Chains A and B, each alone.
Chain A
């Protein structure tokens, strides 16, 4: 079974600064997919970024980028130039290659200070 661990319950960042969220996972599969989702107070899950395990290149989406270390089973998210709208819960998730079955970490709450 897959497990996903987010070791930081809460992170605080100054507006315009950079914050990095940690995520480690455990899987016996060689082919899988990793995601970061944002969940604002509305509770709508919004996809932030997606990484395919077979791709060595780290995914980037505007101010969001990941550091994917397959051997270490680590998948951290970097938010650059933080904005007030980035304040939310962030979830790291693993998806198996055998269908759409996401395993989520416990989440990291990001606070953005003006």
Chain B
């Protein structure tokens, strides 16, 4: 059974550009959530999608957005990139019920220069 797959794994962007990260959840998982990990702020929740609807949202500016498709795949987008957006972005998936085990992908490393 394939795990959570994130693409791309590594990318470098310039300030002011935008970026889109992709996440394919484990087959049968309908909940997809996104996290940002930085040395200074640690692991922070961005948002969660369930059945194509945003179910939870963290405290990030509107430049951070996401969506989920009918096949449960998810994308997150960051517009007008800032140096501080450099981070490891982790995607996680879970079955419908809250409290089920949450499985993580290997992450997408974003460097903003």
Contact = CB atoms under 8 A, between A and B. Distances in A.
B42 A42 contact: no
Contacts of A102: 33, 35, 43, 45, 92, 102
Size class of the contact patch on chain A: 20 to 34
Contact of A43 (B50, B58, B106): B106
Contacts of B56: 96, 98-101
A95 interface: yes
B99 A95 contact: yes
A104 B101 contact: no
Given A45-B104, A47-B101, A101 B48 contact: yes
A20 B104 CA distance: 24
A37 B43 CA distance: 12
Given A43-B106, A50-B101, A101 B45 contact: yes
A70 to B, nearest CB: 15
Given A101-B48, A102-B33, A91 B43 contact: yes
A103 B45 contact: yes
Given A44-B106, A45-B90, A100 B101 contact: no
B41 to A, nearest CB: 10
A68 interface: no
Interface in A29-82: 32-33, 35, 37, 42-47, 50, 52
Contact of B99 (A45, A47, A97): A97
B102 A95 contact: yes
Indicate the member of B35, B92, B101, B102 with the most A CB atoms within 10 Å. Answer: B102
Given A100-B48, A102-B102, A43 B35 contact: no
A44 to B, nearest CB: 5
Given A47-B101, A107-B42, A100 B106 contact: no
Interface in B17-49: 31, 33, 35, 37, 42-45, 48
A43 B107 contact: yes
